[in-house]
Structure 1
């Protein structure tokens, strides 16, 4: 009985280490090149979240963007895509009203050009309302993931891992949100102190 338990534990650790190695590959040299430094940073943070909560990450992409679960799992485990790239592909696909697999195929073929070039090819121009909508999707997803608190999600950028900030005090884009969700420029992301 002890030998079977030890074997099961060893196999479990080996599979866990394998999944960890996949995510470690993503973090090194990750460069989405979206054309926006803030978005690039958020996608890097999504990589960190996925490291601590792979199932939560997969669930979020499936639920938020209607991506087929088999595709998200295949991209993550088999093709070894960075979670940030998976997230961006599916967010972009939803915005341009195409199946995620179409955007995945384009990026798979032309990833050397970066996400910014691919988004432009799909009709998302820098600074356009569509670009800001895409940026908002990334920010919203990053906030949800950080609030759920993967073990390293909040700590990756020195954030608080205690959970989500109270409604109305959530930092977004480096500024706190004051009354009515308007930027509270005086607090610079610290909320209103309540």
Structure 2
């Protein structure tokens, strides 16, 4: 094989490798061990990318995350929206500032969200994990598409985002299906992160601890 053909082959392989690397960073790969939570986190990531200001409003108003922290994480540190949500929702479930959960993540770079959740004692089936689920359902209600905890449903935010109508015709919902079971959590870094634990503010009739308006912020 002559040199020209070898260089052509190497260039082609390089382009293919770059394409594969890009493909791996598109979307959001979540593996918490709970199908309902994984689905919500993927959708929240999509919502945050599509509708930045409503996402920031929810993270600041409901989860108590300081807006400067949100800007830092999204714009300067390039966190995925679902990572930001995960950290602040986890903090709310634990009644901690979001920034504290971010710092805990930063203390052990590369370990992922599963390790952070484990250190905080959060796992599927725990009170904090249930608080996260209730909080996610509340957030969807704020965004105009109520969901029921553990009821299988997929929401397309291109159809249901701010100012758009909603209805069952735009979501694939398996009514009457049994709730997904939870297993041990695992998490990856964003851009392919598995995560999902956080909490809600103690909805009426719920069991989660309230954040009492404490500021939160979270990092990747």
Q: What range is the shorter-chain TM-score in?
A: 0.5 to 0.7
Number of the residue aligned with 1:101: 99
TM-score (norm 1): 0.60
Number of the residue aligned with 2:76: 78
Separation of aligned partners in 2, 1:25 and 1:57: 25
Unaligned runs of 5+ in 1: 1-23, 177-184, 187-194
Shift of residue 113, structure 1, vs aligned partner: 3.4
Q: Please tell me whether the aligned partners of residues 26 and 82 of structure 1 are also in contact (alpha carbons under 8 angstroms).
A: no
TM-score (norm 2): 0.54
Q: Please tell me whether the aligned partners of residues 33 and 115 of structure 1 are also in contact (alpha carbons under 8 angstroms).
A: no
Deviations 1:148-192 (A, max 9, x none): 9xxxx9535x966653559xxxx9xx565xxxxxxxx38xxxxxx
1:52 corresponds, among 38, 41, 50, to 50
Number of the residue aligned with 2:130: 132
Q: Figure out how many residues of one structure are paired with residues of the other and give that number.
A: 145
Deviations 1:78-106 (A, max 9, x none): 11100011011001111111111111122
1:163 corresponds, among 151, 162, 165, to 165
Shift of residue 52, structure 1, vs aligned partner: 1.9
Q: Structure 1 stretch 95-104 or stretch 111-120: which is displaced more? A: 111-120
Separation of aligned partners in 2, 1:46 and 1:137: 12
Unaligned runs of 5+ in 2: 1-21, 147-153, 178-220
Deviations 1:46-76 (A, max 9, x none): 1211222101101110001111110011111
160 and 81 in structure 1: CA distance in 2 versus 1, 3 angstrom threshold: closer
1:30-49 counterparts in 2 under 5 A? 30-49=28-47
Separation of aligned partners in 2, 1:33 and 1:25: 18
Number of the residue aligned with 1:120: 118
For residue 147 of structure 1, give the secondary structure of its aligned residue in structure 2: coil
Q: Please tell me whether the aligned partners of residues 32 and 114 of structure 1 are also in contact (alpha carbons under 8 angstroms).
A: no
Q: Please tell me whether the aligned partners of residues 49 and 146 of structure 1 are also in contact (alpha carbons under 8 angstroms).
A: no
164 and 138 in structure 1: CA distance in 2 versus 1, 3 angstrom threshold: same
